[in-house]
Amino acid sequence: MLKEKTKQAAAAVRGQVRDKMAKAAKLTNKYLLFVIAAILGLYIYFYPEMLTKMWTGLRSYSGEAGTNITFEALFQATLFFLCATYIVRRFKKILENYLLAKLKMDTGIKHTIITLMNYGIWIFIALVTLSILGIQLKNLAILFGALSVGIGFGLQNIVNNFVSGIIILFERPIKEGDWVVINDLEGIVRHVRIRATELETFDNASILIPNADILSGKVVNWTHANLNGRVVVPVSVAYGTDLEKVRYVLTDIAKADPRLLADPAPYVWITKFADSGIELELRGVTGDVMSKGAIRSDLMIQISKVFEAEGIEIPFPQQVVYLKK
């Protein structure tokens, strides 16, 4: 009994500590921008040559090769990078949740704007950081040359996926929220990134598909242009059934479902005289293809009830065997 009380007390103390740490982290995240901005402002006030150095470096990117990186430059670059990183993350949330959310714009276009702006800003931050450190792009020519050799030998797939990601962002064959089938993998697109696309299957599994595979493979997009989609319900009735009555009953059931569009109107096709019965298909168009599975299930339940009430027989598989004496 004493051990249980001790464990409960320890758990309560740990819970209080976690709550206090969460509150502290929340307050830190809320006011960290102001603290960093104040520190950076004071530093620039006492050392205004930092701005001059940064501006000169951005304009020319020239200087003596092999410039030594001083501790002061490293401190300035680190301070700027931390401040810029925090500001970019906060700006991205504000842009996504407030600014673009008020515009009547497609979700895929919003994602493209946010992604391209994010990469553009990070490139600018990298250039400014190099400028503060005193590293010029001219001095990186040898490094870029070595990287080009590496790309030629072992990084072809990475570059291919990178270029494919840019093409997907601009061409937009798929976008976030689309229901797609990519190389026999079916699910909802959650994120389109530069290197790979995240697909969430209906089993709640996340699959990362390289962008190059998307452009070179077979892609079925159920929601590319709009959310309209066809709902098909196969039905089988016994031989001798009044097919005109069946057609009327099925059409009436479909028209009563508000999730199916009136234009084009639902219709019934006779598809096959099978061994066990006559096969038909009830076809309709819904304005929300994401729910076509639920619509199909509800229609089948309703058809079963109405057929039973109307005396329409749904046949079982059967065979007739003749025996000779």
Any domain includes 13: no
217 lies in the same domain as 242: no
26 lies in the same domain as 118: yes
- CA dihedral defined by 175, 180, 183, 187, rounded to 10 degrees? 110
In this prediction, the residues of the chain whose per-residue pLDDT falls under 50 are 61-66
Cα distance between residue 38 and residue 31, in whole Å: 11
268 lies in the same domain as 289: yes
Any domain includes 93: yes
What is the model's pTM? 0.58
Query: Would you state the pLDDT for residue 65?
Result: 41
Any domain includes 97: yes
Total domains, the chain: 3
**Beta carbons within 10 angstroms of residue 253's beta carbon:** 22
52 lies in the same domain as 112: yes
119 lies in the same domain as 167: no
User: Among the three residues 187, 203, 221, which one is the final residue of a domain in this structure?
Assistant: 221
User: Among the three residues 135, 168, 184, which one is the final residue of a domain in this structure?
Assistant: 135
Please compute Rg for the chain using Cα positions: 32
**Beta carbons within 10 angstroms of residue 98's beta carbon:** 9
53 lies in the same domain as 101: yes
35 lies in the same domain as 117: yes
**What is the bridge-based pairing of β-strands 179-182 and 185-192?**
antiparallel
162 lies in the same domain as 251: no
Any domain includes 54: yes
User: Among the three residues 102, 135, 168, which one is the final residue of a domain in this structure?
Assistant: 135
Any domain includes 2: no
185 lies in the same domain as 104: no
CB 247 within 8 A of CB 268: yes
251 lies in the same domain as 184: no
> What CATH number did the domain enclosing 194 receive?
2.30.30.60
Query: Would you state the pLDDT for residue 217?
Result: 84
Any domain includes 213: yes
Any domain includes 322: no
30 lies in the same domain as 109: yes
55 lies in the same domain as 72: yes
Query: Would you state the pLDDT for residue 61?
Result: 47
> What CATH number did the domain enclosing 247 receive?
3.30.70.100
Tokens encoding 59: 């304009």
CA angle 22–27–30, rounded 5-degree value = 125
pLDDT tens digits, residue range 242-253? 999 999 999 999
* Domain that includes residue 168, residue range: 156-221
Any domain includes 254: yes
